[in-house]
Structures are given as structure tokens and as C-alpha cells.
Structure 1
Amino acid sequence: MDTDYDVVVAGAGPVGLTLACELRLGGVSVLVVERLAEVDTTIKAGAINTPSAEAFYRRGLLPALAAVQEENLERISGFMAQRQGGRGGPVTMPPRFAGHFAGIPLKGRLLDASDPDFTGAGPAGDIGFIPQEPLERLLGGRAAELGAEVRRGVELTGFEADDEGVTVHAGGSAIRAGWLVGCDGGRSTVRKLGGFAFPGTDPSITGHQAMVEMEGAEALGKGWNRTPTGTYAHGPFPGRILTVEFDGPPADRDAPVTAGELQASLRHVSGTDVTVTAVHTATRFTDNARQAADYRSGRVLLAGDAAHVHSPFGGQGLNLGIGDAMNLGWKLAATVRGWAPEGLLDTYTAERHPIGAWVLEWTRAQVALMRPESHAQALREVVAEFSDTVAGTTFFAKKISGVWQRYDAMAAPGDHPLVGGSAPDLELADGSRLADHLHDGRALLLDLADAPAIRAAAEGYGDRVSVVTAAAPGRPELAGLLVRPDGFTAWAADTPAPTATDALGGALARWFGTRTALPTGPRAA
């Protein structure tokens, strides 16, 4: 097919840029079109969860993320010191997985950090406090390094899709591509023009989030606060505020957010006489919760907020979108390059839709518990009592951190327990780790038992699967591990017996198609 690009991505936020990086690693050409001329500096997500941190770690971005986190923690430390009256001495930072559920604080000291679900992420488990804006800038640089073309100030205005591809209209030009992916946010033009069903629930709240300058801020409670008129949060940075009012959605979602509006909301919810003197960045939000019934329609796909919208409570939105991009990227690249097995692209919706549906329910539950009416408050007390236990804190922390996520449809009866879950970051005998071998975006077969039968099963997949032979001293029971490009385990075994290697062959065919005559090219660890 004669095309300008293999894939056009609408939207250069973190989701679109992550997808562009994955597509380039998969060897396909990609154009990203973005209506904004510059990176959006509006205050948005303030952290990433464990699956997102693992995804970027596996692509070699951990040092850059660690630098961003260090700067962010310094800002948090400054706010905490300010709230403590500027007293000297060390400032105690919040634990990695501490957070809140519906504004109910989780106590880090009650977290059972020894829970097995928290132990497999390796160094990625120490990364979390990454705001959206610096992440977007980092991903923009990475996409450019990989050869993705990003056109800013260019808005997608329409498209026509057929059996052979998509003609995209953007910036006054007609661009021919094999595929179009809408990563263009909750009001996605791609979703609307593509006719995707988008069922869900209507908004019932008005929320504000902003970075402001204030007089009288010392009267505000720190962290999350519930009052008879709503909920508000103050921190974890100087000037950061969030308010939630339960009297319906905003009259005009698109109107500029003014200092007067923020001040009125904050005074109403907090009951203080705080004065907002300047606004640096501000946004409105609601609890509108909707999800595309299918993430694909022919040659048009959706990812991120284009596929699902919900309130920001629990910080799931950015992470949900990054997970979409990681799952879709390698599958779409395989489809473009012609080696994808039948139905591979359909597993994108099958695997990601249930996690998106869970996020919508998770956010709806929080809104229900935050309502000031008496029945909601009675239930809130029950949840608060549960959260104030080791079991409760650990339960909520697992959900917030995302370590529970797995693709159960990947596993067949009798499969190893690791199949379908994020691959553990094994430390290999030479000191390298599993993540070090996923930087190139290819699948990875780890032969941990130096078993010729395991390596032989991968013959003919050398253009798609890297083979590494090395021991994993910390997991001596494992004989082998097949990891998809997105970091999820497709096969694992505790023995290189014929039954296990037969299952490996099936997993390779299921996810990576038909063998070729190309040499496997095993590489030593």
C-alpha cells in the first residue's frame, strides 16, 4: 500500500508519545499530530504507578525518571517543612505506596511492604513521584531520538478510513496512513468521527485543581480534608489546591478558570477566608465516567482518555493510558510488518478493556464515599476503619500502585502462575537484570537452565525474540521465561521437560506468529 506513514497518532501527550516510541522500536514509521503548539503546562497528574514505572524502566528511562523524581521530592519536602513552621531537622517523606482512597489517608507504617506483589518490580518500585509535564517532555525527546515525527500546532480535523488504510486531514494536508490511533484526550475527535460507542455515567460534581498564590493558607488543613460542603486538598506542593463540590457539573467546562472562581470554591468547601491572589495553572474536572465499547474499529484505534474518561481520584488516568500504549504498540507494529498472528490486534481491547472498566468503577466508588450526605458518610466510616489496618492499607496500596494488574486471558489452565502477569525483574548471574534486555522493544526468551530444548523452541523467531542464556540465582526454581515486548509473561516453566518446551512453542506461535528461516541469533547475557 502506498502510504505517507504506517501509523498516524493524534495527540502528543504522554500516551501518544509513548505509543510513538513503541511503534518506532517496532520498526514502523509514525507521525504524531498535536493541536497544541507547546507542551501543555496545565496542572494534571502528579505521579505514575508501578506498571508505568516498569514500562519506562524496561526502555532504559529509569535514570531520567529518577532525576525528575528527585526534583519533585525536593518540592514536596519544601512544602512539608513550610507546614511544620520552618523547623530544622529532617523531613519525613511519604512512603512510596502511601496515598488515599476517596480522600481517606493511608498510613505508610501500616503497609505490608513484604507482600509478594510489591517485590517483583526491581528498581522501578522506587519510582512514582513523576508529574505529567516533565514526563511528557522526557517522552517527547525520546520519540525524537527514535525517529518519530511530531508536528505541533497541527489539529486533526477529519479522516476517511477504508479497508486499505486511513486518509487523515490535519493542518490543511491530507495524509495517507495504514492506521490511525486516537490519543487525543477525553473529547477525542477521532473517537467522535469514528463513531465509537461511548457508554457510561453523566457528571455530578465540579472539581478544581490549581497551583495558586494565597493569603491565609495557614488556615487550610494539609492533605485531604472532608467538610459538610465538600472535599478539598492542600499540598503536597506549595500553592497546590484541589476542591470538590457535589452540586452538579460546571455550567461552562471550557470557560477560563479565574482566581475568583477558585477562591469562591475553596472558601465554600474549606470554610476559611483564604484569598487567592494569583493563578499559575488551573483546571476543572468532573466525574463523567465513560468507556469505548471497543478500542478498535477497522483501521482506527483509541488509547488513553480517548478510550475512557473518569474522575482523577486515585491518579489512575495517566497510568491507564500508558498501559494502553505499551500493550498496543508492539501489536500494531507486528500487524504493520506482517508477522502478527491472526487476532493479535484484537487482544488489545480484550486485555485493556477490563482494566479500564475497573478504573471507572474505582473512581465511581470514591466519588460515592466523598459525598457529604449521611448514608455515604456512614459507609465512609466503615471504609476508613478498614483502611486503618495492615490488611486494609495493603489492599488499597496494591490497587493504587497497580501491582495487581494482569492479563488473565493470556494464561491457559495449567500454565505457570507467572503467565499473564508483569515479568519479575530477575537479577541474572552477570549482574544484569531482566529489564536491561528489553530496551530494544523486542520480546525476550530467558533460558535460565542452559537448556538446548528451550533455545531450540525459539528457532525461526530471531527477528522478533531475543534469546538470553543466564542463571537467575534469586529464582533457582525457574527454568525459563518468555516475556512479551510490553513486559508481560507469556510462558514460564520450572523445568525444561518436553511438556514445558511444547507449551513454549505454543506461546511463541500465539504471540509471535509463524517461524521464519531467519537465524535465532541467541546472545549471551
Structure 2
Amino acid sequence: MTTVDVIVVGAGPTGLMTAAELTLAGARPMVLDTLPERNPMSRAGVIHSRTAELFDHRGLLEPLLATGDFPRTEIGHFAGLPVDYRVWPTRHPAYNVPQGKIEEFLEARLVGGGVPVLRRQQVVNMTADADGVTVTAHGRDGVVRHRGHYLVAADGGRSTIRKILGLDFPGRRGTSTSVTAETVLAGPGSTRQGLMRGRSGHWAIQFPLEERVRRLVVSGPGPAVPKDAEVTADELRAALYAVYGDEVELVGIRRAARIDDSARQITAYRVGRVFFVGDAAHIHLPLAGQGVNTGLGDAFNLGWKLAGAVHGWAPDGLLDTYHTERHPVGARVLANTQTQGLLMDWAGTDNPDLPAARGLLAELLRVPEAMRWMAGMMTGLGIRYDIAGAAEDPLVGMRMPEFDVTVDGERHRAHSLLYSGRGLLLDFTRSEQFSPHARLWADRIDHIHAVPHEDIPTRGMLVRPDGYVCWTSGLQDLGNALRSWFGAPNDDLVARDYPAFQ
């Protein structure tokens, strides 16, 4: 039996990122996956602004982008209507990075760091007790068993772990199917961006994946086709003709698959020692790349909290905040993708009232506040967690803003101060006001004196490892915030240097 701290089931981006966060925090994960190798289909094709920031928090964004030529995207869409991401202050637009590239990059880093990523591991049973979780799998050499303190189910919409636990996956089943394909196209319409509508309820969306290869999604009226049914070239040609006429020619198909409009979300993201992330927790229409980005957000939210539990410092209730923070985010994604499906006429009903609804929404998006709200939702930049103090300070619960600071005479991006994966007490004072508290949690947070290069409306802020502000100087009680997010102070330091804290 192999024993680790955390077993991660599923080697997609969400599972691999969870393992990477655990490793950075000093925990020992293991990743299991059923497939013998990575799925070559690009599937998701965009990293949104907030996900780019999260990768940047770990110093991973530039190395990832260096692995290929990934176009930048500053204009996204909601149901095919343009959404301007630039209305949010961030250094990072969206990047068109195929899911397979993210997986390849993360897996290489994990394996290079000694983390086991085991393939051909078909999980057949899982049992949990008061001390941990045991997984039984059929591996290359027969039946194998793995033991961990916790398990993260990142095994997709058909999650084996969810089924073993007998958990419902409430929502609705898909009623229509569409085709997504990696294609080579030719003709004057082969580089068009955005939603294009055709005859009798047909529509198409295309965007660049890599040189000469376009991601194409097409749909039309008719009954749902089984998801495992083969996609043929004739089928794609007919769909292209219905939307573009003679302006687009199908030159070749690299890969193709079917998707449907299922919308489901698990009721509880945590069940004892088991946590659900990514598609194992929520599935929806794959519109605007929100699936992989939501899953990666799950991973960044959970990883440091789970590592805190492994190391024994996580305060009561910390692990439960994974559900209370991420379940509403997933529910919002389901709601917006279902709305987009209606406005795009995903099912091909050719509803004559839809142009009026789309026109009204397009008019609304010309209002700056509405565009900012929409862009914040689609990019993840607008996520705000319900953290104590949020009602008193607009920074609390939000992502740490992007700004530059001077530390020890050198200029840094504030985001780079999160590379360690630890908490960050960013101190803008020239005093030792926060130092007594900071020393007591020195094994979990970095206390950095800095001079900001722009006006920041606080004398200091406490930032969680996932980049969200959980305290500012305007809230006064730093010790309470540290206890809430980083557990009790170091007992040895308390007894030796700060008896008043006992």
C-alpha cells in the first residue's frame, strides 16, 4: 500500500493544479488517472484573466506561455455578444491556451518534482475512516491500494468517487448535443470571430487554437445525438454550409467530439475527508472557457487549506470554507451558461423572440457598470468571497489588486510576493506595529514591509495564499484574522516571547 497525505483522483488541469498547490505547501500528494495518457483533444481553450493572475501568483504564467504561441484575448463574449475584459484593472488579458498544454505543463512540473502521477489506475473502491481514506484501483500490475489522509475527486462529470459514495448530482440532463472540433478551415469566412447564425436554427463559433488550427463549435436543430457517436466530415461540412454558405471550406479535422447542455452541481463540495473539484463538482455548457477556469479556481482555493489540515494548523472550519466559497461560484457559472444557451438558441429552436432579447442585452452592455459586472463574472475578476470584514472594507474578500511595490530598495510586482504559496502580511507602515503578530505566525505567513507605487487605501493587508484579501488595517483585529485563516499561533514562540498571548 502506498501512503501519501492526499490522493488526487483525476489528472486533468484541476487535479494537477490541486496537487501542485499541495506540493508547494509541503504536503505529499499522489495523482491517479484512468487514462493511459493525456487526452489529446484541446477541449477548453482559454485561460481567463483571474486564472492568469493565479498562475502568476506562483510564477507559473510566464513558463506556461513560453511553451507555445498563445494569442491574447481582450474581448470575450457572453452568448456571442462582445464582453470587454479591459474594463477591469489587470496586467493579464485572457490567453488562448489549450487544455492539453496546461495538463502537459503541470504534469511535467509535478513529475519533475517527484510527485507520482500514475496512469491506468481505474479506481474501483474507496473507504474512509476517522484517520484517512483508502483507495483500491486496478493498475498496470493488478489490484493496488493507496492510503491518504484526504482525497480530492477531480475525476470529471462521470466521477467514480461520487458514484462510490452514492451521491446525487442534481440538475438536468442534456437535451441537445453540439459538436466541438479542432479543424483546418479555408475561405473568406474561415477567420471570423464570434457567434454566427445560419438557417433554421444552425449556428457556429470559431476561434484560433494554434497556427492554422481553429476551434469550431457548431450546432443545429434536431434530437440529441449520443455523445459517443462519431463526428463525420460530412456532418461538419453540412453545418458549416448552413451557417457560412460557400465562405468556409473544411480542409481537415484533427479531432472532434460531442458536447451537450447538461447542467448539474453536487450539493456538498466536501463529504468528510473527500473533496470535489472541477467537473466532478459541476458541469455545464462549455461556453467562454468557464469550465476549466472554474475548476482551477477550485484547486487554488482548496490546496492551501488542505495542506494546512495535513500540517495540523488549519483552524476549525477552514476546510468547510472551500464549500461555502466555491459552491456559489459554481452555481453562478451554471446560471450564466444556461442563460447563454437560451440566448444562443443552443437547441436550435429558431425562436423568433431571441433577436429582441439579444438586442436588449447588447444595449444593456453599453452601460459601463453593466459591462464591468459582466466582465468580472466571465473572467473571475469579480469574485468576492464572504469574508469577515467585507462589509466594512471594499478590499476584503476581493483579489489582491495588481500594483508594484519597493521592498528593500528593489521594485517588485505585489503578486510576485505570493510565489511561496504562504500567507502574506503586506505592511505599508514604517513601524513595527504588525510585527508582534507576524512573528507568531512566521511559519505560515510572510511579513513584508513595502512601499506601494500607487495609492492603496490601507496601511497593511493580510492576503491568503490564493490571493484574496482577508484583512486590512481598517479592521483593527489582526490577531483574530490570523487565527481564523492560519490557525493558532506558534506555541513555542508564544511561551518564549509573548506570554501575554497565552
With 352-361 and 223-232 compared, the bigger mean Cα shift is at 223-232
Say which SS state the counterpart of residue 66 (structure 2) adopts. Answer: helix
Deviation at 1:261, TM superposition (A): 3.3
Q: Is the 8 A contact 1:98 1:397 kept in 2?
A: no
Equivalent of residue 315 in structure 1, options 289, 303, 325: 289
Post-superposition CA distance 1:423-472 (Å, at most 9, x none): 11331122012222211211111111033221112232111111111221
Equivalent of residue 182 in structure 2, options 184, 208, 211: 211
Equivalent of residue 152 in structure 2, options 181, 193, 217: 181
Structure-1 residue corresponding to 2:207: 235
Tell me the amino acid that sits aligned with residue 453 of structure 1: Q
Q: Is the 8 A contact 1:370 1:377 kept in 2?
A: no
- Cα distance, 1:518–1:135 mapped onto 2, change above 3 Å: farther
Q: In the alignment, does 2:224 pair up with 1:249?
A: yes
Larger % of strand: which?
Answer: 2
What are the ranges of 5 or more consecutive residues in structure 2 without an aligned counterpart?
Answer: 495-502
How do 1:32-181 residues align onto structure 2 when only pairs under 5 Å count? Answer: 32-68=31-67, 71-73=69-71, 96-106=73-83, 113=86, 115=87, 118-119=88-89, 121=90, 123=91, 125-126=92-93, 128-170=95-137, 171=139, 172-181=143-152
Name the % identity: 38
Q: In the alignment, does 2:234 pair up with 1:260?
A: yes
Equivalent of residue 399 in structure 2, options 396, 403, 422: 422
**What is the CA–CA distance in structure 2 between the aligned matches of 1:413 and 1:405, rounded to whole Å?**
13
Q: In the alignment, does 2:381 pair up with 1:410?
A: no
Equivalent of residue 375 in structure 1, options 327, 340, 353: 353
**What is the CA–CA distance in structure 1 between the aligned matches of 2:50 and 2:270, rounded to whole Å?**
23
What are the ranges of 5 or more consecutive residues in structure 1 without an aligned counterpart?
Answer: 74-93, 521-525
Post-superposition CA distance 1:197-241 (Å, at most 9, x none): 311122122111112245x64466822201232210233354522
Post-superposition CA distance 1:21-77 (Å, at most 9, x none): 1111121111101122222210211111122111110101132134246x123xxxx
Structure-2 residue corresponding to 1:324: 298
Tell me the amino acid that sits aligned with residue 41 of structure 1: P
Equivalent of residue 299 in structure 1, options 273, 277, 280: 273
Structure-1 residue corresponding to 2:192: 222
**What is the CA–CA distance in structure 2 between the aligned matches of 1:198 and 1:397, rounded to whole Å?**
29
With 40-49 and 378-387 compared, the bigger mean Cα shift is at 378-387
Post-superposition CA distance 1:386-413 (Å, at most 9, x none): 3356555444333222211110x21336
Tell me the amino acid that sits aligned with residue 222 of structure 1: R
| Total equivalences in the alignment | 478
- Cα distance, 1:208–1:151 mapped onto 2, change above 3 Å: same
TM-score (normalizing by structure 1):
0.85
- Cα distance, 1:450–1:146 mapped onto 2, change above 3 Å: farther
With 271-280 and 510-519 compared, the bigger mean Cα shift is at 271-280
**What is the CA–CA distance in structure 2 between the aligned matches of 1:187 and 1:397, rounded to whole Å?**
30
Post-superposition CA distance 1:80-131 (Å, at most 9, x none): xxxxxxxxxxxxxx7x43022112234x5xx7x4x5xx22x4x4x2452322
Equivalent of residue 336 in structure 1, options 279, 293, 310: 310
Tell me the amino acid that sits aligned with residue 378 of structure 2: I
**What is the CA–CA distance in structure 2 between the aligned matches of 1:513 and 1:287, rounded to whole Å?**
42
Deviation at 1:378, TM superposition (A): 2.3
